Structure 1
């Protein structure tokens, strides 16, 4: 199945790219989530507008991505989660929790889709996550998971 990506998809491509994927992956995952649209001959204009918007944002955002990277890497970010008496978490720290903490710490909105967590965070303490801020700018952020005081 041939698709046009409308969002960044890790391991597949950037917005405006035309990709060939398995039918089930495209039909059941990418298209329903709005990450891609079906490729047609008429969609060539859509590709050009997506790429034009992406390049204008890329030029404008590269410097702000570098500035945000230095702000995020300066000091550890505190993530408050519910935990039991022994320090075990109720569930895991989600990328939504991390995005909210990063946005609060940096003062700038961080999209949860740009956060890559290696293994699920299920314990208190220090952890590291990678945030892709731009095509060629990634920040490694130190997280300090602490219990929330209810």
Structure 2
């Protein structure tokens, strides 16, 4: 077993700053190469505190604010304009950062891309859903309306 400090939230494992024990292969092949965790050391308490402080500043401050933001996000679909070809196929795929930017452009609030998850890969135009973990107790479902635009350039 490997003892790690999470640097980002990992679904089903923990939040940034948590100390977790995972199997060696999971740590070596997934968490460490992707930057989701660092090895735990005795001097890691300072690192844990700085990670938790950074998480606190990024996080929505209170449960009430998170619930209000979730209600606002669930009111209407967010329009996401992307470059698409024939038949509505996208050039690439929609990422969590794209969803966070679209929410900001729609005037619904600022979301950190790390709180947004996409249950399915979005590779064509249409209607989709994304999830945003705004608080430990608040999960918002964002309806996405992915629209193709042949003239849009990145």
Instruction: Identify the TM-score tier after normalising by the shorter chain.
Output: 0.7 to 0.9
Q: State whether structure 2 residue 98 is matched by structure 1 residue 100.
A: no
Range 7-16 or range 72-81, more displaced: 7-16
1:114–1:55 distance in 2 versus 1, CA, 3 Å: closer
| Residue pairs, 1:38-49, within 5 angstroms | 38-47=39-48
Unaligned runs of 5+ in 1: none
1:39–1:85 distance in 2 versus 1, CA, 3 Å: closer
Computed over aligned residues only, the root mean square deviation of the Cα atoms, in angstroms, reads 2.7
Shift of 1:46: 4.1
TM-score by length of 2: 0.78
Cα distance in 2 for residues equivalent to 1:77 and 1:19: 36
Give 1 or 2: higher helix fraction. Answer: 1
1:70–1:43 distance in 2 versus 1, CA, 3 Å: same
Cα distance in 2 for residues equivalent to 1:35 and 1:107: 28
Unaligned runs of 5+ in 2: none
1:88–1:5 distance in 2 versus 1, CA, 3 Å: closer
Cα distance in 2 for residues equivalent to 1:57 and 1:91: 28
Q: Report if aligned partners of 1:92, 1:120 keep a CA contact under 8 Å in 2.
A: yes
Cα distance in 2 for residues equivalent to 1:55 and 1:137: 16
